[in-house]
Structure 1
Amino acid sequence: MKIVVLLSVTTIFIVSCLATLAYASDPSPLQDFCVAVKDADAAVFVNGKVCKNPNMVVAEDFFFPGLNKPGNTSNPVGSRVTPVNVNQIPGLNTLGISAVRIDYAPNGLNPPHTHPRATEILVVMEGTLYVGFVTSNPADPALKNKLFTKYLYPGDVFVFPEGLIHFQFNVGKTNAVAFAGLSSQNPGVITVANAVFGSDPQINPAVLTKAFQVEKNVIDYLQAQFWTNID
C-alpha cells in the first residue's frame, strides 16, 4: 500500500513539474505593475527586478524615446541593435516582453547569437535581409543540426524560436532596418563568436583546437580578434 501511495505521489510531482516547465516564462505580475528599481539601488537581488514604490511611479517609467533614430553601424559587423528591455523601460518588469531596433549597413550582419530567455519575432521595415536559425542537436547523432533560412523584404515577418542560434544579414545595396519583439523583459543575448573567442579569461586554446578541429594558430588568430590583454 505504501509503495502505491509513494508511486502516486511521485507521479503527481512529476506531472506538476512538467506542467510548470511547459508554462515557464517570465514572472507574471500580481499587481497592476512592478516598475523596476535600478540594480545599483536595490538592496537585494531577486529573479528579475525589485519593485519601485507604486506611489513613486511616474509615466516616464513606461516610456522610451528614440526608436525612430538609426543606430550607428560603424563597427566590424556593420549592424547596431538598439534594445528596449527592462533596463531601458523599468515598467516592463514582470510583463514578459521587450523590443529592439536593428540597423544594418550594406553587407551588415547581426552575427549568430541566441536569446536564452526569449522567442523573437522580426519585422523588416527597409532593405533585404537573409535570415536563419539552426535547430538544437538532433537525438540521432548521425543527423546534422538543421538550418532554416529565408530572404525577407519590407513587411515580411520571421520568427526565431527561443534559445536557438540565429542571424540576420543585409544582402541588399542599401541600409536595412528591422524591429523585433521578444518574449522576455530581459531576453539576454549570447553572441557565439564573442563568447567562444573573446571570453574573460580566455578559453584554453587546447579546448578550442579540439572542438573546431583546427590548428592552434587559427585559434590564436581568432582569439586575437576579440581579446585585449589589460595590464
Structure 2
Amino acid sequence: MIGKVRFCAPVARFADLAGMSEPSARVTRSDLRPAAPVRVTVPEPVWTERLMLRRLEGRDRDAFLGLVKDNTAHLEGLFPLHEPGESDDAYFDRMLDAAAEGDARGNAWRRVALLGDGSIVGCFHLNAITRGLAWEADASWWIAREHTGRGLATEGVRAMLDHAFEPLPAGLGLHAVHCGISPGNAASRRVAEKCGFRCVPDRQSYLKVGPNWVMHDFFIAEPDG
C-alpha cells in the first residue's frame, strides 16, 4: 500500500478542544474523512504461453477451496494443508494473508496459476526470501492432478525462476532458489531437473508432509545454472 491517509476534522471541533467558546460537540467516526484517496499497488501477473501467475484474491475463495478439496489426497502427500482444527475458510484466509504479507514484506512470492479460461490449476511459491550476503528463497509448487502430464508444472516453474532471477525492480533479483523433493516424488524431480535445478547429494533435510517428517533431497537453481 502506498501513500498515507490523513484525517481532517472541522476547525470548530479542534477550537472547542482548545478551550475556546465554540459549541461543544463530540467528534465521531463519521466526521472523519480522508484528505486524499488511498492507492493500493497490485503486483503485475507473470505470464507464460498458457498460464497467468497472480496473487491469490478474495474472489478466488470458492474456486480455490474446490480445487484443494478435489486434490486433497494428491496434495497431502506433498505438504501440509490445514492446521489442526482449521476450517476451509480459515485455511483460505491464511493463504490469502500469506500472499499479501509476503509481497508487503518482501519475504515471499506466492502465486496461483490460472489457465486462459480463468480456472485455477495450481500454485507456485517462493518462501523464506532472504536478502543478506546471498539473496535466496525456497520454492514449492503443485498442479491439480487432472492437469498433470501437460507440462504446466515445468512451464510455471520456469516462469517462477525467471522472475526470481530477474534483477530488481522488475524481478526479485535472487542469487539462488532451493527446493526439497522427497526421493519418491519422481514427477517433481523431473520438473526440477528440466528447469535447471541440480541435486546436492550431501545436503538432505527433514520436511513435514502431513503429520510426518520425511527426508528430502536438496536441490538448487542459480541464474548461471
Does TM-score exceed 0.5, indicating one fold? Answer: no
> Quick check: which one's helix share is greater?
2
Give the TM-score normalised by the residue count of structure 1.
0.25
> Quick check: which one's strand share is greater?
2
Give the TM-score normalised by the residue count of structure 2.
0.26
Which has the greater radius of gyration?
2
**Structure with more contact order per residue of length (Cα contacts < 8 Å, sep ≥ 6):** 1
